[in-house]
Structures are given as C-alpha cells and as structure tokens.
C-alpha cells in the first residue's frame, strides 16, 4: 500500500514573541460587509469573547481588485492593523474563492459547465473551472499581490488558500476539463492500450483510437462507462488539489515561513474531494463541519472530526468553520439547544482540533447567508449566543495545556476509502439504495453506543497498531490492499468487513472466481450471486436481527469458519449471514447484510470480546458519553462529552478537572456530567 502523504505539520505562526501554549479561537471575519464604524466594535467584542485568530478576505476579490487593472488594499491594511493592535492573528485568505463580475464578463470561458451542458453563471460564488488556464492566471496574480503586500505584516499567521475548494464546482464538464482530463489520463495510463484495458472499452464498442476522443462523462444515452466515471472523480479531486498546489507554490516563494492551509469539508455527504490525498499539500489540516440534526447528527460530527484527525495523522488541526446555532442551507434550519454550541466545539477539540472557529463573526444583514448564525447574532452582543460564545472562549483558555497534544490512537479502527465510496454508489449496480458513508457511520454509532473508542482512518494508514479493524463496504480492493489486510489478520488483528466489499480492483474490474474476490480466501467464504432486498423489505436472521438492503448467497469454504448467524427467512433461508474465521490469533469476519446501528452493537460487542477490546468508560456512561483522548509527553486528556439531554454519572472516572463547558455536579464522590456538557480531565499518561 502506498502510504498517504503525511502533512509536514507547521502550525499557525502566532505573533512574534508570544510562545505560550494556547488554543485558537475565532471565525471567518467579513468586515467588508460592514461600515468602518463597526470594525472597532468588532475588535472590542472579539477581545471580550477571547478570539485570537480570524480568517479574513475569503470573499474579498471584488473589493481588492475592483477592475482588471486597479487594486484597493487600503481597507484591508486598516483591518489587518486593527486586528494586530487588538492582539488578534490573521489566517489570511488568498481571496480567490469567488471571481468578481468584471472577470466573468471579460472571460465567460472560466464558468463551469454541468454534466448536461448548462453553464453555472455568476451571481452566487465559486463559479470557476478548476482547470481554466485563464482563471488560474488571474487567481495567481491576486495571490501574488496579496502575498507580497502582507508578507511582513505582523498579524499574518497562516495562509488560507481559496475556500472550501470544490464545494460547488468539483465536477466541471467543460472543454477545459476535457483537455485536462486527457492529460491526466495520459499520465495515469501512458498508452491508449492501457486505458482501453482499464476502462473495459471492449464493452459497447467504446474502444478509443485517439486521445482526443476522450471526454468527461457528460450526459449520455445510457449508463456511462463506470471506470470513466471513477477516473473522472479521481481527476476532479486531483484538479482541485492542483489548484491548491499552484496557489501554494506562489505563497511558498514569497513567504516561505508562513504555513499554508485550506479548509476541507469532511462532513455529511460531501464526497468529491479525496482529502486523504490532499493532506501532504497543506502545512496543517483544516476542516469545516456543520451538524445535520437527526438521530445520528452528533455521531456524524464525531465521525467526521475523527476522520479529519486520521487524515491529519493524529496531529492537531484547525476547525475552520462550524456554526454557533442554525445554518441557512438545510431544509429546516434548527437552532442549537443551550449547551450544544460548546459541546459541538469541544467534541472537535477532543478529536484533535487546536483551533475552534465559526462561520462567521458577525451575522450578515444582507445576502444569502443572513439567516445563518454567527458569533455576534442579529440580536447583538446582548444575546444567549454571544454569552455562550464568550463562555466557550474562557473554556478554551483553560484548555491551553491541551494545545499541541496529539490524539491518542484507539485500539479499533474503521477504514474509510474514497475510491470505495465513489465506486460502490455507481449506477448499474445490484442496488441503487446502498449508501457507503451511512454504513460506515452505523458502525461508528455502534462503537459509540458500546462506549468503545474507534479511530476513523483512511486506507493507506498503517493499520498495524490496531487490534480491530472494521472495513464496511470496502468495495475497491487492489491486490496490495488485500495483502495488507491479510497481513493485519495473520499478525493477530481482527478484521470485520461487510457486503459488497472486496469486489473490484482499482480499475473497477471484478475479481473473478466468486465474491468477495479479493477477500474470499481470507474470509473463507464464497458468494456466487448478490441478492439485494427490495426497498422497504426485511428478512430475519436466526439471532433475532432484522436485515435490510442486501443479502448474499454465502457458502462457507474453509473448515475454520464459524457461522455466527443464519438467515431465518427469505431467499437465503438457512445460509450463513454472519461469519467469522479464526486465523492464527487474529480473525476475519463477514457481515452479509445491512443491520443498522442498534443491531450492529450486538455483532460488534461479540467481536470486541473475541479481540479483548473493552470500553474505558463506566457502564453507566456507555453510549451516553463520547470519550476522546489526547496525549502529550506527560498527560492524557480525557474529553467526556455528554451526548444526552440528561445528567450522566461517571463513577470511578478520575482525573484533575482541567475545564468544563458546564460545572459538573458531585454526588457521593461521583462526578455527574450535566446535560450536553463536556468535561476535560487531565490524567497521568497511560500506556497506548
């Protein structure tokens, strides 16, 4: 396995002379939306809230370069100076996220084109083609101007490349994209023969005889070639990363000592960017996260933050955006309950965030995001939100000793793989109902319910430190990955995988001879036919579980395979549904159907017993408290987040209370965590 590029890790450059450990606290700051008089008030309130860093100029291109050949930096100079005088550092954006009207009027050829051939017009934001040479030239010119102007400004703490690269423009099907895609394909395959083989073009008369014939998967008469689709996804992620690299190259030349980052979007269903492959291109990882309310909303926050930490190699990262309360872009935008603002923030800190920032500082009075919450809401500083913001600022100050500590690896890991995500959900598959991330999240929810810590780690991670590895719907398994999993099991690791795993190689070609091809021998099973279930139907297993989405016609092929449960009705009646094969001191287990988070608990508990992995939490807290642990040379920091709306006792949990978002109660010597509260305990460092 090729390891993921590891981030070099250069952290925020705090203002000279100030080396005391601290966590960052701040927001996106958009002063251009407000008259000058407000700016001084902003700085005063930021200080009151404990803000020490802001992201600036993210959407300022039109203000900084009002026309093709005029610049206006005066206002930004003033804001930079004001912030610096207020002791607030700046994560300065390169301002290239949203091209100004003069640029799109002059060069409409930078506008992205959808799969169906429609142009994405200006009027919103991020209306640029990642592969447009014209856009690139203009963007880099702006980067150069900004970098030269602020190179020596004392407030400059980090560079923020563009913003949420690919949020709205990840898939562009324009002629620029087609040209760049051809170059990418040439680099990947070298020859047309290799490409024709990889794409399986013998099928449906798709053989290519000239590179010029190759196109992005535009709207077609029927199912577009699956490998073409997969490669276009890989290419589109790489094209955005290429933009990041281009901006970074300019910055590194002018300000070699200033760290560079860009905000990833590891959250919800944002899937276009393979961030594991971007980690080496930033000095520190940053992420944006918004909660999607619902039964697994909080699990999803924890899952995403956890994966960010995995991408960051467990080193500290920067939470660039989350919300103080409601967002404006969901179907119904729910306000946060008291306590949730701090809990959500501190969950990220537990997962390794050393800076906590919000979108945005002051809630807009106009524009598409005027109903999105902020640190200073429409109501002004005399508000619940601002009081909660200020309280969080104090909590983060008390947590200064945590700064620079790394996240303590868990004994269990969940493997997350972008290729599998992209490929498993392609059209023309056994079912259109499969959701890759949901299956991974369900396993994570099961870990949370059992109170057992698990890391979410991208493929390419060194798995050798884990005792248990869950690889849900690991659909794309090239030979090296199969080897790596075999070695994991043979050296005593316990692997669990599920339906539709191990099916294809890196070109999306089926491993022949029976499923799950690449993992068949390791699991000691063979499947001749997939048997997905119709929507809304379920079948029973003989352990009482109810299964949906998928079943497999499993045959056991190795004598040492244990059948843990069988299908009790439906077409697979009597066949194995859950199997486990002991391999030396390790094991390889298979779950052939979708069980959902509650039922997975039972399955997981059984497997964890076999692996000797137990919860670190007292019984009373399991499922109700999300435990994350950070560590430095001297101490472990236990972040205990109450996931519920009721108090949770923590009998037997000891440590020095470093900080809490709400003061814990004490009942007969037992610490009781208030509803939705987070407490952080410092404890003597224990072995890994």
Task: Please state the residue numbers annotated as binding site.
Answer: 125, 163, 329
Closest to 78 measured CA to CA, from 35, 131, 112, 115: 35
Active site residue 164: yes
Across 478-544, where does the E strand assignment appear? Answer: 494-498, 525-530, 539-540
- Does 91 interact with ligand GLA (rule: CB under 6 A)? no
With the CA atoms of 214, 220, 222 and 228 taken in that order, what torsion angle do they form, in degrees rounded to the nearest 10? 30
Which is nearer to ligand GLA, 284 or 290 (by Cβ)?
Answer: 290
Q: Is the CB of residue 72 less than 8 Å from the CB of residue 61?
A: no
Q: Which residue has the tokens 């960017």?
A: 273
Tokens of 307: 């994966």
The residue annotated as part of the active site, out of 247, 300, 321, 340, is 321
Detail the residues annotated as belonging to a binding site for substrate. 125, 163, 329
Query: CB of 180: closest distance to ligand GLA in angstroms?
Result: 24
* DSSP-derived secondary structure for 456-495: EEETTS-GGG-SEEEETT--B--HHHHHHHHHHHHTT-EE
Interaction pattern, residues 213-252, with ligand GLA; x per rule: CB under 6 A: ----------------------------------------
Q: Judged by CB under 6 A, which of 314, 351, 372, 453 binds ligand GLA?
A: 372
Compute the distance between CA of residue 513 and CA of residue 564 in angstroms, rounded to an integer: 25
Q: Which residues of 546-569 are buried (b: 16+ CB within 10 A; e: fewer)?
A: ebbbbbbbbebebeebeebbbbbe
Q: Give the span between the Cα atoms of 624 and 647, in whole angstroms.
A: 9
CB 128 within 8 A of CB 62: no
Compute the radius of gyration of the chain from its Cα atoms. 26
Closest approach of ligand GLA to the CB of residue 263, in Å: 6
**Cis status, amide bond into 516, omega within 30 of 0:** yes
Name the residue nearer to ligand GLA (CB basis): 47 or 125.
125
Q: Is 234 or 289 the residue whose CB approaches ligand GLA more closely?
A: 289
* C-beta closer to ligand GLA: residue 98 or 459: 98
Interior angle at CA 389, CA 384 and CA 392, nearest 5: 125
329 binding ligand GLA? (CB under 6 A): yes
Q: How many C-alpha atoms does 192 have within 13 Å on its Cβ side?
A: 10
Residues 6+ positions from 333 with CB-CB distance below 8 Å: 326, 327, 371
The single residue of 37, 78, 144, 164 carrying the catalytic annotation is 164
Q: How far is the CB of 37 from ligand GLA (least distance, A)?
A: 24
Residue 265 vs 312, nearer CB to ligand GLA: 265
User: In angstroms, what is the minimal distance from the CB of 156 to ligand GLA?
Assistant: 21
321: contact with ligand GLA by CB under 6 A: yes
Residues in region 264-283 near ligand GLA by CB under 6 A: 265, 270
In the Cβ-directed half-sphere of 21, how many Cα atoms lie within 13 Å? 12
Residue 385 has φ and ψ, to the nearest 5°, of: -60, -50
SS3 515: strand
- 288 or 340: CB nearest ligand GLA: 288
Cβ of residue 271: shortest distance to ligand GLA, in angstroms?
11
Greatest Cα-to-Cα distance within the chain, rounded to the nearest angstrom: 79
On whether the CB atoms of residues 555 and 530 are closer than 8 A, the answer is no
Alpha-carbon distance of 661 to 68, in angstroms, equals: 49
Kindly report the length of the chain. 688
What is the smallest separation between the CB atom of 22 and ligand GLA, expressed in angstroms?
A: 24
Question: 162 and 244 in contact (C-beta within 8 Å)?
Answer: yes
SS3 content of the chain, % helix, strand, coil (to 5): 35, 20, 45
Task: Give the binding range for ligand GLA (CB under 6 A) out of 191-199, 223-231, 321-329, 575-583.
Answer: 321-329
Nearer to ligand GLA, 284 or 358 (CB): 358
359 binds ligand GLA (CB under 6 A): yes
Q: Are 637 and 629 in contact (CB under 8 A)?
A: yes
Q: Which residues of 46-57 are buried (b: 16+ CB within 10 A; e: fewer)?
A: beebbbbbbbbb
Between residue 280 and residue 299, which ones bind ligand GLA under the rule CB under 6 A? 288, 290
Distance CA 348, CA 358 (A): 12
Q: How many residues bind ligand GLA (CB under 6 A)?
A: 13
CB of 229 to ligand GLA, least distance (A): 22
CA distance 501 to 153: 52
**With binding defined as CB under 6 A, does residue 369 bind ligand GLA?**
yes
- Choosing from 254, 327, 433, 582, the residue that interacts with ligand GLA (CB under 6 A) is 327
Which residue lies nearer to ligand GLA by CB, 270 or 423? 270
Strands (E) across 516-653 are located at: 525-530, 539-540, 546-547, 552-556, 561-566, 576-583, 586-591, 625-631, 635-642, 648-650
What distance in Å separates the CA atoms of residue 502 and residue 516, rounded to the nearest whole number? 5
Q: How far apart are CA 226 and CA 508, in angstroms?
A: 7
Q: How far is the CB of 576 from ligand GLA (least distance, A)?
A: 40
Q: For residue 546, what are the β-bridge partners?
A: 540
Which residue is associated with the tokens 């077609």?
Answer: 220
Pairing of strands 454-458, 576-583: unpaired
Q: How far is the CB of 172 from ligand GLA (least distance, A)?
A: 17
- Residue among 166 and 339 whose Cβ is closer to ligand GLA: 166
**Residue 384 a catalytic site member:** no
| Shorter beta-carbon distance to ligand GLA: residue 289 or 511 | 289
Residues from 136 through 175 that contact ligand GLA (CB under 6 A): 163-164, 167
- Smallest distance from ligand GLA to CB 546, Å: 33
Indicate which residues carry an active-site annotation.
164, 321
Q: List interacting residues with ligand GLA (CB under 6 A).
A: 163-164, 167, 265, 270, 288, 290, 321, 327, 329, 359, 369, 372
């Amino acid at each position: 396995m090729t390891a993921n590029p590891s981030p070099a890790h250069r952290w925020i450059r705090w203002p000279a002379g100030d080396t005391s450990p601290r966590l960052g606290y701040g927001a996106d700051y958009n002063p251009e939306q407000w008259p000058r008089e407000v700016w001084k008030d902003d700085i005063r309130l930021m200080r009151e809230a404990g803000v020490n860093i802001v992201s600036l100029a993210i959407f300022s291109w039109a203000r900084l370069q009002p026309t093709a050949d005029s610049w206006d930096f005066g206002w930004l100079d003033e804001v930079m100076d004001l912030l610096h005088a207020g002791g607030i550092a700046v994560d300065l954006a390169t301002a290239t996220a949203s091209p100004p009207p003069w640029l799109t009027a002059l060069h409409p050829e930078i506008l992205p084109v959808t799969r169906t051939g429609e142009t994405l017009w200006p009027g919103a934001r991020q209306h640029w083609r990642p592969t447009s040479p014209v856009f690139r030239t203009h963007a880099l010119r702006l980067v150069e101007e900004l970098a030269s102007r602020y190179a020596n400004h004392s407030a400059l703490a980090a560079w923020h490349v563009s913003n949420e690269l690919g949020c709205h423009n990840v898939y562009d099907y324009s002629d620029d994209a087609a040209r760049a895609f051809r170059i990418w394909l040439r680099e990947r395959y070298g020859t047309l023969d290799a490409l024709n083989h990889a794409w399986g073009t013998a099928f449906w008369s798709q053989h290519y005889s000239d590179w010029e014939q190759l196109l992005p998967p535009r709207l077609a008469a029927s199912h577009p070639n699956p490998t073409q689709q997969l490669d276009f996804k890989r290419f589109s992620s790489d094209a955005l990363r290429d933009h990041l690299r281009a901006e970074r190259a300019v910055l590194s030349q002018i300000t070699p000592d200033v760290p560079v980052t860009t905000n990833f979007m590891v959250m919800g269903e944002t899937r276009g960017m393979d961030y594991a492959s971007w980690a080496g291109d930033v000095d520190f990882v940053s992420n944006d996260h918004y909660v999607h309310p619902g039964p697994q909303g909080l699990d999803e926050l924890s899952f995403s933050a956890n994966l960010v930490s995995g991408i960051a190699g467990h080193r500290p990262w920067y939470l660039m955006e989350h919300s103080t309360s409601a967002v404006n872009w969901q179907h119904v935008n729910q306000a946060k309950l008291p306590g949730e603002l701090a809990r959500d923030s501190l969950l990220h800190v537990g997962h390794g965030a050393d800076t906590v920032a919000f979108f945005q500082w002051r809630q807009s009075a106009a524009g598409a995001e005027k109903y999105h919450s902020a640190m200073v809401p429409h109501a002004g500083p005399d508000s619940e939100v601002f009081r909660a913001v200020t309280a969080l600022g104090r909590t983060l100050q008390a947590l200064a000793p945590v700064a620079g500590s790394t996240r303590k690896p868990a004994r269990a890991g969940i493997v997350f793989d972008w290729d599998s995500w992209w490929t498993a959900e392609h059209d023309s598959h056994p079912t259109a109902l499969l959701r890759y991330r949901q299956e991974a999240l369900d396993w994570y929810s099961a870990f949370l319910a059992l109170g057992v810590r698990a890391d979410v780690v991208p493929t390419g991670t060194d798995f050798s430190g884990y005792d248990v590895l869950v690889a849900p719907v690991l659909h794309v398994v090239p030979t090296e990955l199969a080897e790596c999993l075999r070695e994991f099991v043979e050296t005593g690791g316990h692997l669990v995988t599920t339906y539709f795993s191990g099916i294809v190689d890196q070109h999306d070609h089926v491993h022949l001879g029976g499923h799950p091809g690449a993992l068949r021998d390791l699991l000691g099973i063979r499947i001749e036919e997939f048997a997905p279930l119709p929507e809304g139907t379920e079948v029973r297993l003989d352990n009482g579980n109810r299964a949906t989405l998928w079943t497999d016609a499993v045959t056991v092929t190795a004598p040492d395979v244990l059948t843990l449960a069988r299908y009790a009705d439906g077409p697979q009646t009597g066949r194995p549904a859950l199997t486990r094969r002991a391999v030396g001191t390790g094991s390889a287990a298979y779950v052939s159907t979708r069980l959902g988070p509650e039922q997975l608990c039972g399955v997981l508990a059984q497997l964890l017993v076999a692996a000797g992995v137990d919860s670190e939490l007292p019984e009373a807290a399991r499922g109700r408290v999300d435990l994350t642990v950070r560590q430095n040379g001297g101490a472990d920091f236990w972040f205990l987040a109450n996931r519920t709306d009721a108090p949770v006792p923590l009998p037997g949990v000891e440590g020095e209370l470093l900080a809490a978002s709400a003061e814990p109660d004490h009942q007969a010597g037992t610490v009781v965590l208030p509803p939705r509260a987070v407490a952080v305990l410092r404890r003597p460092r224990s072995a890994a």
